[in-house]
Structure 1
Amino acid sequence: MIQKKGVLPVFIPFVGCPKRCIYCDQNSITDIKLVNFEYDVENQLKYFLQIKRDWSILAFYGGSFNLLNKTQRLFLYDLAKKYKFNKIRVSCYPSGFDNYLIDEFHKHDVAEIELGVQSFSDKVIEVNGRDYSCDDVIGIINRLKSEGFRVGIQIMVGMYGEKLDDVKKNVEVIRTIDFDYFRIYPTVVFENTKLANYKNNLKFSFEEVIAVSSIYYLLASYKGATVLRVGLHNNSNFQNKIVGGYFHPSFGDIIMTFVIYLYLRINEKNRLCRNFPNYKRVIVKSFDVIYDKKITFSEILKTVWSEYFENNRWEIKGEIFDLAKEFWCKANE
């Protein structure tokens, strides 16, 4: 039997979204604009099936699946059955769940639900045009997990109105909730969004975004969640529409390299696994590395979290922000 692998992505930008958040431009990010919903969605699916026949899961991204009208949801369920998918992942707005919808998800093979949380700070949620609360999201996550769904959450870094206290709030909540996978996105300002009017009011430096993203990355990994993505994909079609924020085409590599940098710098270690992240060779330029096949990247992640973050050392001393500056300076030498 052929083992099916991979997630087939179908994008439904803005469909179902109750409002347009100040930072969001899904059309630019996905390079997709739906004219005829049913026709355009099925064409996306056919395109990916031409590339590869065997996929393990069908995913609907870019909109708010839970807030689609019932006709649209039923069409997407039927599409999954037509092409013989028995597992569906849906991207949802973190409100609008009820018993009927959850029963519907069970009936139609929805197995994974990804929530665009972005922040657990009520203040940050509000000023970015979202209309739910931290308590709402925690309640939804707990309910979905109790119903047997795999749950993913998305967090943004450096959002409009966000300060260090909001980061601490996010860390506090993420420590306590149960989830299966995680995405981290730095705030990116697109030209045709409301956020473009406030692009000069973002509070964080790029180095601080590196530091905060690494905290989330390490915490999610320490909790056993799979980090699916760090940073927006590198798409040349949207880069000319970016007018501010923290986009970098190698953002994920930067964060993982900084984690290695923390491991070596803080713990005064020099043994590493092979094929470690090494953005601009900053690791081999900064340390005399010895390869050790007994060390794995996952063990490094757990070591850095347990020895440095678990006791809130980063929060008390603020040392991680200085180290991020040091790292970024070396990366750009």
Structure 2
Amino acid sequence: MQTSIIPIFIPHIGCPHRCVFCNQWQITGHRGVPSPDEVRRLIASYTASARTPRRWEVAFYGGSFTAIPVEIQEGLLQPAHEALMAGTIDGIRCSTRPDCITPAILERLQGYGLTCVELGVQSMDDDVLTKARRGHTAGDVVAATELLRQYGFTVGHQLMPGLPGEDWDSLVRTTDAICRLQPDLARIYPVAVLTGTDLADSWRAGCYHALTIHEGVVRAAYMKQRFLEQGINCIRTGLQATEDLDDDTQVLAGAYTPAMGELVDTRRYGRQLLSFLRSLPAGPGITICYNRRDTSRVRGYRNVTVKTARWSLPHRLTWRQDEVPVGHIRVCQGRTSYDLDVNSKTGPTMI
């Protein structure tokens, strides 16, 4: 059954640090702390609008939830807990900082029925974390992840490639460290330079070189591929589009585009498919079969993979939707067929 999120956005309150990239209201597109009654109304509005049965989860996003005053936390959690007990929703989750996780905090969250906590990890390189003024270390991430596991929570990690001081080696080390920690899920948000942030000042002064969209796609695609190969569910790549983020006076530079997720999957699928096609001998034409849901990933954003294959390969190619599992590509040449599992490191197998 489909799971849908009821997002409750919390502003930047309670957080003890101001990171160089942070302008939280622009990221969320919301200002002000919602009241418990507003939470109730949002839950009622979302659940009443569904035309088909689904699982509903309330998610407290946008701030360091466990760092805000306890009375505000409990005021927000209470209507969600009421809806959970009534069977109106099926789960509650929040996002917070790695250094704002303690046994007492987790016991409070459990008391309100919360089962999933996402940590704003950003990087596992302490030098990068220091330059970003995160106020926590990679060791805090390890400790928080272990404690969440002990209490039986689903664990999420949020990563931000492109922070000051990060190079490719740093990105690889961060990716390796996350793979060792094995969170249940991950989100990847390549850095966007927002007006009103210290990062924007550094960018204007020429002290910080922002990622291009292409560079953001390359880094995010590398991380996502590694995570999926390790069984870590990557549930989002790139910031959710909002009116503020789509305003080019607010996003000054960096790897922001509403199409980030599609571009990342285009790169992942395209690199693997084209590499395999280049290994096939010349001869009979090749048919590339894929699930309907994978059409844009296999063919590429704006058909870029189809176009690249057309001018760079000697083969006569046919592209076709078929009964193929999602995440797989079937490549047929003559009487031989291969299965390419894009999210696995096993490589193509003959079928």
Contact map agreement 1:11 1:30 (CA 8 A) in 2: yes
Return the alpha-carbon distance in structure 2 between the equivalents of residues 35 and 149 of structure 1. Answer: 25
> Which has more radius of gyration?
2
1:129 and 2:133 correspond? yes
Counterpart mapping for 1:168-317 below 5 A: 168-199=172-203, 200=206, 201-202=208-209, 204-240=211-247, 241-268=250-277, 271-275=288-292, 276=295, 277=297, 278-287=300-309, 288-291=317-320, 293-294=323-324, 296-297=326-327, 300-303=341-344, 305-307=345-347
Number of matched residues?
305
Return the alpha-carbon distance in structure 2 between the equivalents of residues 101 and 31 of structure 1. Answer: 27
Match of 2:159 in 1: 155
| Distance of aligned partners of 1:167 and 1:234 in 2 relative to their CA distance in 1, 3 Å threshold | same
Contact map agreement 2:10 2:34 (CA 8 A) in 1: no
Return the alpha-carbon distance in structure 2 between the equivalents of residues 9 and 113 of structure 1. Answer: 14
Distance apart, 1:300 and its partner CA? 2.9
Amino acid at match of 1:221: L
Contact map agreement 2:210 2:253 (CA 8 A) in 1: no
Return the alpha-carbon distance in structure 2 between the equivalents of residues 272 and 180 of structure 1. Answer: 30
Distance apart, 1:167 and its partner CA? 0.6
Three-state SS of the structure 2 residue aligned to 1:212 is helix
| Distance of aligned partners of 1:29 and 1:40 in 2 relative to their CA distance in 1, 3 Å threshold | farther
Return the alpha-carbon distance in structure 2 between the equivalents of residues 79 and 188 of structure 1. Answer: 34
Counterpart mapping for 1:41-52 below 5 A: 41-52=39-50
Match of 1:10 in 2: 8
Contact map agreement 1:230 1:252 (CA 8 A) in 2: yes
How far does the alpha carbon of each residue in 1:236-279 deviate from its partner, in whole angstroms, 9 at most, with x for none? Answer: 33322111111112111000001111112222366341333120
TM-score (norm. length: structure 2):
0.79
Amino acid at match of 1:283: T
Distance apart, 1:40 and its partner CA? 5.0
Contact map agreement 1:11 1:62 (CA 8 A) in 2: yes
Match of 1:70 in 2: 70
TM-score (norm. length: structure 1):
0.83
Distance apart, 1:134 and its partner CA? 0.7
| Distance of aligned partners of 1:252 and 1:139 in 2 relative to their CA distance in 1, 3 Å threshold | same
Return the alpha-carbon distance in structure 1 between the equivalents of residues 241 and 43 of structure 2. Answer: 22
Distance apart, 1:36 and its partner CA? 6.1
Amino acid at match of 2:58: L
How far does the alpha carbon of each residue in 1:163-210 deviate from its partner, in whole angstroms, 9 at most, with x for none? Answer: 112112112202211211111111001111111012242264443322
Give the RMSD, CA atoms, in angstroms: 2.5
My pick for the range that moved more, 202-211 or 72-81, is 202-211
The structure where helix makes up a greater share of residues is 1
| Distance of aligned partners of 1:55 and 1:297 in 2 relative to their CA distance in 1, 3 Å threshold | closer
My pick for the range that moved more, 17-26 or 127-136, is 17-26
